[in-house]
């Protein structure tokens, strides 16, 4: 196994023992980019390799840990395109709060990763700059919208990555790429410097190779930020070594997320996971969340409504791409018509429609009520259970182009993850098995502010299984185990 296949905590231990140098670690990730990035296309921008190596500081161990950043999170001086033509030449004028916090640890930003345009999608096929491919099978999607970030970690071109999660955009690609992804409690990680899609749902989170790394990275980025009006002023999570003792913990298996539409092979992996938890001493029972079946229609009213408002700022007047026009109105219309891709236009039109006079009460207000009912279902479940589990995705990674012409089918790919965003809860996806060498993710959901508990439950499962140690092959050449 090469250095790029190791976790951050394994690499830091090797560096502390002087068994490898920080520069060797960084060079290993750069080598992966040179070999495999032309096939995978995880990145939209990569820093100069010499600059990345020169960023290593001997007295700052984390400067040896290359991290990839989703290209909707601002990094001062670097491009921030949101994978859209409308921001193709935009350079970030300031750092997002999460980047400022990473800079305090001297983490080495290796590049900006591909995504579905403005984070709208589940496959990273909606990028204006072309799709990213799954390192486990380059004919399949890596998931989305944080597909570039998940693929970069899976292929070893970054040790860590940051993504954003509006309806599953960290967890679903983590599942498809066989890595770990956390969607934190809403408000525990600052959204300042994250280009907004749906402000009441968006949340930045970590993507890593194992749970220990996920807990470490989350400890760096969480905490109150006065620049974000939705940031919660609570005691931040602080990392301490995970123990993984879950004997006696009560786990609820969500019935509605194991029914119709779930691939039988995915269901089998989850059932096998239940047995592993039981062997670890956990108590598992089925639980019903009846309103969860309304999550997808609720989400696809609320999220586009917020998107139609947030994306109004991209009009060709202040920054970004500008098309020509005889009048200001024509210029703005042409800019948005040429600058936005089909999926973004679809969601803007849908959002504008549900917010319009005559439809606001019939659709938007009704969706808000269902959002409360879904959150209420979760609250009741957590009166009985410590955590809940489900598949992260109802299917295995699907082939490129398979769902592009059927938006509804694509939307249903997030049926297991969307409810968590609507309720503002934390959830983590971890590898739970493989089917035909394709990863299957297990989603563990907790009540608000239960990240520490999620890490312990996920770590216990991880230590009892070998799945997190597997690495993909590319072009028939193995670069892992």
Quote the tokens at residue 248: 């006696």
The conformational region for residue 344 under phi > 0 = left, psi -120 to 50 = alpha, else beta, is alpha
CA distance 37 to 30: 10
∠ Cα 306 417 140 (to 5°): 105
Cα of first residue to Cα of last residue in the chain, in angstroms, is 7
CA distance 182 to 163: 9
- Could you count the other beta carbons within 10 Å of the beta carbon of residue 224? 15
Q: Do residues 132 and 51 touch, judged by C-beta distance below 8 A?
A: no
CA distance 10 to 208: 13
Q: What are the CA-CA distances from residue 469 to residues 66, 122, 332, 433, 462 (Å)?
A: 19, 25, 50, 11, 9
CA distance 67 to 109: 5
Q: Which burial class, exposed, middle or buried, applies to 357 when counting CB atoms under 10 A from its CB (0-12, 13-18, 19+)?
A: exposed
CA distance 123 to 114: 11
Sheet of 108-113: strands edge to edge? 43-46, 108-113, 66-70, 160-164, 204-208, 180-183, 427-435, 438-445, 387-391, 250-254, 283-287
CA distance 133 to 283: 38
Identify the H or E element spanning 27. Answer: helix 22-40
Residue 61 main-chain phi, psi, to 5 deg? -60, -35
DSSP state of 465: -
- Of the candidates 113, 70, 173, the one whose C-alpha atom is nearest the C-alpha of residue 439 is 173
- Could you count the other beta carbons within 10 Å of the beta carbon of residue 24? 16
CA distance 447 to 328: 49
Residues annotated as catalytic are: 70, 145, 169
Quote the tokens at residue 398: 């699907």
∠ Cα 161 124 451 (to 5°): 40
């Amino acid at each position: 196994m090469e250095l790029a296949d190791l976790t951050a905590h394994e690499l830091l231990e090797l560096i502390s023992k002087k068994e490898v140098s920080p520069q060797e670690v960084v060079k290993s990730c750069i080598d992966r980019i040179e070999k495999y990035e032309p096939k995978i296309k995880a990145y939209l921008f990569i820093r100069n390799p010499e600059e990345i190596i020169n960023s290593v500081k001997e007295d700052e161990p984390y400067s040896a840990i290359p991290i990839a950043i989703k290209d909707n999170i601002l990094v001062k001086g670097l491009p921030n395109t949101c994978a859209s033509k409308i921001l193709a030449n935009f350079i970030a004028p300031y750092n997002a709060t999460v980047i400022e916090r990473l800079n305090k640890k001297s983490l080495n930003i290796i590049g900006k990763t591909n995504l579905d345009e403005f984070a709208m999608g589940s496959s990273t096929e909606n990028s204006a700059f072309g799709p990213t491919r799954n390192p486990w099978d380059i004919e399949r999607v890596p998931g989305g919208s944080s597909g570039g970030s998940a693929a970069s970690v899976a292929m070893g071109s970054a040790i860590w990555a940051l993504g954003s999660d509006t309806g599953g955009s960290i967890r679903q690609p983590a599942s498809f790429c066989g890595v770990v992804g956390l969607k934190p409690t809403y408000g525990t990680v600052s959204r300042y410097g994250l280009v907004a899609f749906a402000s009441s749902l968006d949340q930045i989170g970590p993507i890593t190779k194992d749970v220990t790394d996920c807990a470490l990275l989350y400890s760096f980025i969480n905490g109150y930020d006065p620049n974000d009006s939705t940031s919660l002023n609570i005691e931040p999570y602080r990392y301490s070594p995970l123990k993984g003792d879950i004997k006696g913990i009560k786990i609820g298996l969500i019935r509605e997320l194991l029914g119709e539409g779930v691939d039988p092979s995915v269901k089998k992996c989850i059932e096998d996971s239940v047995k592993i938890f039981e062997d670890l001493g956990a108590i598992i029972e089925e639980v019903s969340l009846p309103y969860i079946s309304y999550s997808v229609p609720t989400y696809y009213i609320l999220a586009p409504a917020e998107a139609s408002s947030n994306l109004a700022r991209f009009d060709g007047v202040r920054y970004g791409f500008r098309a020509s026009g005889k009048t200001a109105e024509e210029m703005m219309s042409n800019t948005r018509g040429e600058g936005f891709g089909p999926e973004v236009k679809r969601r803007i039109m849908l959002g504008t429609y549900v917010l319009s006079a005559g439809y606001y009460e019939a659709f938007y207000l009704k969706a808000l009520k269902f959002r409360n009912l879904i959150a209420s279902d979760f609250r009741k479940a957590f009166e009985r259970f410590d955590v809940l589990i489900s598949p992260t995705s109802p299917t295995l990674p699907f082939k490129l182009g398979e769902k592009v012409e059927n938006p509804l089918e694509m939307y249903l790919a997030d049926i297991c993850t969307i409810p968590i965003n609507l309720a503002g809860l934390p959830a983590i996806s971890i590898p739970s098995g493989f089917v035909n060498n394709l990863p299957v993710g297990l989603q563990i959901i907790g009540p608000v502010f239960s990240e520490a508990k999620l890490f312990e439950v996920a770590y216990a499962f991880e230590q009892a299984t070998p799945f997190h140690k597997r690495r993909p092959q590319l072009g028939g050449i193995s670069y892992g185990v």
